[in-house]
Amino acid sequence: MYELGPDRLLFVTSDRVSAFDVVMAEPVPDKGRVLTALTAFWAAELAGVAPNHLLQTEAPPAAELAAAGIDPAYAEGRSMLVRKAQMLPIECIVRGYLSGSAWAEYKRSRTMHGQPLPEGMRQSDKLPEPVFTPSTKAASGHDENISFEAAAGLVGDKVASAAREISLEAYRLGAERASARGIIIADTKFELGFIDGELAICDEILTPDSSRFWPVDRYEPGTVPPSFDKQPLRDWLETSGWDKLPPPPALPPEVVASTRARYIEAYERLSGLSFSRWPGVGGAPVAAPPGD
């Protein structure tokens, strides 16, 4: 993330990939471009729900990039020039299915974020209706699930209600579009902030890294469907004997390639566009900037 003047930021999305809270040494080629392309797609699709931070996906002029220490070839296709926002101190999570930490809570107490759910639900079951389930933004460690009332205590009732309305509608439209393309969006995380006094959708939007994507044809309640992002990576790590502590094992080339293919398939299914046409795709890999 780079500051370009008083009211603009440049996001340059890397190809780094993590699993089990550990960053792998090997990048997944073009992963950053997929996340950028999907965010641009959803920003346009959801423009009627709320404003967003995105100004353009074209990289700034080479001289401006060089001044920030960024290789223009690396920035191509993975850049988002955005407006600065005053971000809310909460994660705006919407859940449509009972999975992840929500499933763990349900097993303990038959609740989700403190709210009762029907008896007899199974892992990955579809919820009666999508639910706004906010969490804190942890400076370090893991975010903490909180109730709507706790979120309102952090940002105020009016802002929390507006954030809930925007998040639920964005999820509803996104999930509807994805379902028609053979993908279930089980849950997702939105980042909201104020731009010019209006609550706007910021950061990445409905990507495999901020959402749980499942293939419709592999979905079965009571099981954990394969995800549309890092599943090949997770599967290999689970059988590698790794203790899930740093450093991670070196990834075989075929695992990196299959993970890349899953990200690209998600983009092409959702957008109906060919990833090969996205800027920067198909050229020789370019090293990330130092510290990336």
Instruction: Specify the pLDDT at position 142.
Output: 67
How does pLDDT run across 26-35, given as a tens digit for each residue?
999 999 999 9
Main-chain phi, psi angles of 154, to 5 degrees: -85, -35
Q: What is the mean pLDDT of residues 56-68?
A: 90
What percent of the chain is modeled with pLDDT above 70?
95
pTM over 0.85: yes
How does pLDDT run across 46-56, given as a tens digit for each residue?
999 999 999 99
Q: Which run of H or E residues covers position 194?
A: strand 183-195
Distances (CA, A) of 118 to 98, 102, 127: 11, 13, 9
Q: pLDDT band at residue 286, thresholds of 50, 70 and 90?
A: low
Q: Which run of H or E residues covers position 64?
A: helix 62-67
How does pLDDT run across 93-149, given as a tens digit for each residue?
999 999 988 999 999 999 998 889 999 999 999 999 999 999 998 766 667 889 999
Q: pLDDT band at residue 285, thresholds of 50, 70 and 90?
A: low
Distances (CA, A) of 177 to 42, 85, 172, 174: 10, 27, 9, 5
Q: Angle at the Cα of 194 (from 92 to 206), degrees rounded to 5?
A: 40
Residue 221 has pLDDT above 80, yes or no: yes
Contacts of residue 236, Cβ cutoff 8 Å, sequence gap at least 6: 251, 252, 255
Whole-angstrom Cα distance, residue 132 to residue 150? Answer: 13
Tell whether the torsion through CA atoms of 37, 224, 187 and 142 is positive or negative: negative
Residue 283 has pLDDT above 90, yes or no: no
Q: pLDDT band at residue 206, thresholds of 50, 70 and 90?
A: very high
Instruction: Specify the pLDDT at position 155.
Output: 98
How does pLDDT run across 147-158, given as a tens digit for each residue?
999 999 999 999
Would you call the peptide bond into 232 cis, given omega within 30 degrees of 0 as the criterion? Answer: no
Residue 22 has pLDDT above 60, yes or no: yes
Residue 68 has pLDDT above 90, yes or no: no
How does pLDDT run across 225-256, given as a tens digit for each residue?
988 888 889 889 999 999 999 999 999 999 99
Instruction: Specify the pLDDT at position 232.
Output: 86
Residue 222 has pLDDT above 60, yes or no: yes
Instruction: Specify the pLDDT at position 140.
Output: 61
Instruction: Specify the pLDDT at position 278.
Output: 97
Residue 180 has pLDDT above 70, yes or no: yes
Mind listing the domains of the chain with CATH numbers? 86-218 (3.30.470.20)
Q: pLDDT band at residue 282, thresholds of 50, 70 and 90?
A: confident
- Work out the mean pLDDT of the chain and round it to a whole number: 93
